[in-house]
Amino acid sequence: MKSNLHNLVRKLTYLLGVIFILSCGSTAPILSTPIENIDVVPLKAVELTDDEKKEWSHLDLKTDTVPGISLHRAYKELVRPKSKTVIVAVIDSGIDIGHEDLKDNIWVNSDEVPSNGKDDDNNGYVDDVNGWNFLGESNDEQLEYVRLLASGDTTNPRFAEAEALLAKERESTMRSKTQYESILDQLNTSDAAIADYLKNQNYTKEDVEGISTTDKTLSRHLNIIKQSYGFGFESIAAMKKELNQGLKSLNKRLDCNLNVAFDGRSVVGDNPNDLSDRDYGNWDVLPKNGRTHGTHVSGIIAAMRNNGIGMNGVANNVKIMAIRNTPNGDEYDKDVALAVYYAVDNGAKVINMSFGKKFSPHSDWVRDAIAYAAQKDVLIVAGSGNDGKNTDHENYFPNDQIGSGDEVADNFLKVGASEPRYGSTLVAGFSNYGENTVDVFAPGSDIYSTYPKNKYEFASGTSMASPVVAGVAALIFSQHPSLSAEQVKQILMSSGIEIDKKVSLENGSIVHFSQLSKSGKIVNAYNALLMASKLSK
């Protein structure tokens, strides 16, 4: 899901305002919701420690007063040493399969001989040792509704909608770009003024705090620099770096994602509107052009547990099948469908899909693939999206429904994102929701996980909530392999923590948590394993 740019724009837009003012099987009981009035007194009265921030999604509501998934408690009390290895396909932007915390948990196709240029296992894919890359060397792409406009198909019932949306998005992006440029210009000016006053280009926050002046112009620059430090940046250079990255993303959005004339698919060489045209892509599943999303998602599920480095994934006996289908832009329905078929046919038990879009010209292809996965007893977990919208009223793909009607299969879970504070702000503001189209919620805000080149970072989005659930599903299958995908879906929905409170949404409305998903619950690993143990017997 593409939430990072949205969050960065929101944060930096706020900063701009500041600058303008001055001048972003057990008998144990199922857990119950605490009875405290959380809308008045949040249970976690103090800020999370640095260690808690890195693992808050694994904590327990009762023992830690943090609305995680009770994973530590589950491992301590319920997870048995003997388990079955589960393959989880991560369909995403590519994965750093050599990452220090992932490399030992990457799926290897033992029937394929690496780099011999042959399809040794006759599955239709040459040298697919760790998975498949449906994008080839492609990276940048248009959004789906921009492709609709590029097609010139004015008979499409959503053509006029797409035209209006493009005009709105380009105007909004241009406005954000102008804001970023304004912030950078003011910051550069103030930075230079303070550096000149201190006769030091590498001044520190302490140096700034020590300045005392009655000069009105210097005071204005001083206030801007002090406010910049107040946003948590270690240095003015770090803030400039983030601003420049944001500006680069906005320019990329204008030049590629929102550009009707751009054609990223020509690099791939297939016909994206022909599902039978399947001879494309390659074996290289690594991310391109600095993409981090797929690596971060994979770490949430499968980072090596208790190895003394980095962080712990949710599942302890899992192999990640890497499938690259998500560009910088909207994924093609054809790539989504074929990625699901690939994952199912090559042994995946769980599929994670942390991507999505509002337009889907071949959504029937994807629904057919979801139904195929159901026939083969494979569970699919997907993020609900990061627009802060009710998807009962606004379509968000991929899904297993036509609109918000009946599901085509019983193996598909849509996941919304929750925050680390148990109170009225429990639902992440960016998260989509829907009483008929979202199944369950899970931690998805400020999740610490793996980044390419042996790094680790925080990221937010339903993209992060989805792999939390996929990891719990893999843990259940590993501990109780006799259970079906349908059963595990129901366990995840039924065993969660029920939130009997009203919460606030990004649009300012106050609703009961039960109205935001089918289950009205947040996934809980401890409860899920208890229920799985009973059901498997």
Mean pLDDT of 29-34: 57
- Contact indicator for 420, 377 with CB cutoff of 8 Å: no
Split at pLDDT 50, 70, 90, the class of 167 is very high
- C-alpha to C-alpha distance for 184 and 187, rounded to whole angstroms: 5
Mean pLDDT of 506-514: 93
Split at pLDDT 50, 70, 90, the class of 403 is confident
Based on the residue annotation, tell me whether 284 is a catalytic residue of this protein.
no
| Averaged pLDDT of the chain | 92
Please tell me the least confidently modeled range out of 7-21, 50-64, 440-454.
Answer: 7-21
For β-strands 379-383 and 412-418, DSSP reports them as parallel
Return the DSSP state at 76. H
**What b/e string do you get for 210-227 counting C-beta neighbours within 10 Å, with b at 16 or more?**
ebeeeeeebeebbbbbbe
Q: Which of 78, 67, 71, 72 is nearest to 441 (CA)?
A: 67
Task: Out of 72, 99, 293, 296, pick the active-site residue.
Answer: 293
Return the number of other C-beta atoms located less than 10 Å from residue 312's C-beta: 21
Dump the DSSP string for 237-273.
HHHHHHHHHHHHHHHHIIIIIT-TT---GGGT-S-TT
Predicted local confidence at residue 41, as pLDDT: 44
Residue 467 clears pLDDT 50, i.e. is over it:
yes
The domains of the chain, with CATH numbers, are 31-141+264-536 (3.40.50.200)
Residue 343 clears pLDDT 50, i.e. is over it:
yes
HSE at residue 60, side-chain half, CA atoms within 13 A, is 16
- C-alpha to C-alpha distance for 106 and 88, rounded to whole angstroms: 9
Q: Which of 442, 446, 445, 449 is nearest to 428 (CA)?
A: 445
Residue 2 clears pLDDT 50, i.e. is over it:
no
**Angle of helix 363-375 relative to helix 485-494, nearest 10 degrees?**
100
Predicted local confidence at residue 20, as pLDDT: 43
Residue indicated by tokens 């327990």: 60
Task: Out of 431, 445, 463, 466, pick the active-site residue.
Answer: 463
- C-alpha to C-alpha distance for 332 and 362, rounded to whole angstroms: 9
Predicted local confidence at residue 231, as pLDDT: 83
Split at pLDDT 50, 70, 90, the class of 367 is very high
Tokens of 41: 């007194």
Task: Kindly report, residue by residue over 306-338, the tens digit of the pLDDT.
Answer: 999 999 999 999 999 999 999 999 999 999 999
Based on the residue annotation, tell me whether 293 is a catalytic residue of this protein.
yes
The rounded Cα 281 to chain-centroid distance in angstroms is 24
As a three-state string, the secondary structure of 20-40 is: HHHCCCCCCCCCCCCCCCCCC
Q: Which of 154, 364, 357, 197 is nearest to 275 (CA)?
A: 364
Task: Out of 185, 255, 364, 500, pick the active-site residue.
Answer: 255
Predicted local confidence at residue 12, as pLDDT: 53
pTM of structure: 0.91
Predicted local confidence at residue 24, as pLDDT: 37
Cα dihedral 339, 341, 343, 348, rounded to 10, equals 150
Question: Who's near 206: CB < 8 A, 6+ residues apart?
Answer: none
- C-alpha to C-alpha distance for 72 and 305, rounded to whole angstroms: 11
Percent of the residues in the chain that have a pLDDT greater than 70, as a whole number? 92
Based on the residue annotation, tell me whether 393 is a catalytic residue of this protein.
no
Predicted local confidence at residue 233, as pLDDT: 84
Predicted local confidence at residue 537, as pLDDT: 84
- C-alpha to C-alpha distance for 57 and 420, rounded to whole angstroms: 7
* Torsion angles phi and psi, residue 410, rounded to 5: -115, 30
Please tell me the least confidently modeled range out of 30-34, 72-76, 328-332, 449-453.
Answer: 30-34
Which tops the pLDDT comparison, 39 or 482? 482
- C-alpha to C-alpha distance for 415 and 467, rounded to whole angstroms: 9
Predicted local confidence at residue 28, as pLDDT: 60
Tokens of 207: 């140096």
Predicted local confidence at residue 46, as pLDDT: 73
Task: Kindly report, residue by residue over 214-246, the tens digit of the pLDDT.
Answer: 999 999 999 999 988 888 788 999 999 999 999
Residue 43 clears pLDDT 90, i.e. is over it:
no
Residue 450 clears pLDDT 50, i.e. is over it:
yes
Residue 209 clears pLDDT 70, i.e. is over it:
yes
Residue 386 clears pLDDT 90, i.e. is over it:
yes
- C-alpha to C-alpha distance for 458 and 444, rounded to whole angstroms: 10
Return the number of other C-beta atoms located less than 10 Å from residue 331's C-beta: 26
Predicted local confidence at residue 423, as pLDDT: 87
Helix and strand numbers (H, E) in the chain are 15, 13
Predicted local confidence at residue 93, as pLDDT: 98
- C-alpha to C-alpha distance for 39 and 25, rounded to whole angstroms: 35
Cis peptide before 398 (omega within 30 of 0): yes
Tokens of 294: 């797929």
HSE at residue 285, side-chain half, CA atoms within 13 A, is 29
Predicted local confidence at residue 40, as pLDDT: 45
Counting beta carbons within 10 angstroms of the beta carbon of residue 113, is it exposed (0 to 12), middle (13 to 18) or buried (19 or more)? middle
Task: Kindly report, residue by residue over 49-73, the tens digit of the pLDDT.
Answer: 999 999 999 999 988 989 999 999 9
Mean pLDDT of 341-357: 98
- Contact indicator for 494, 440 with CB cutoff of 8 Å: no
- C-alpha to C-alpha distance for 488 and 492, rounded to whole angstroms: 6
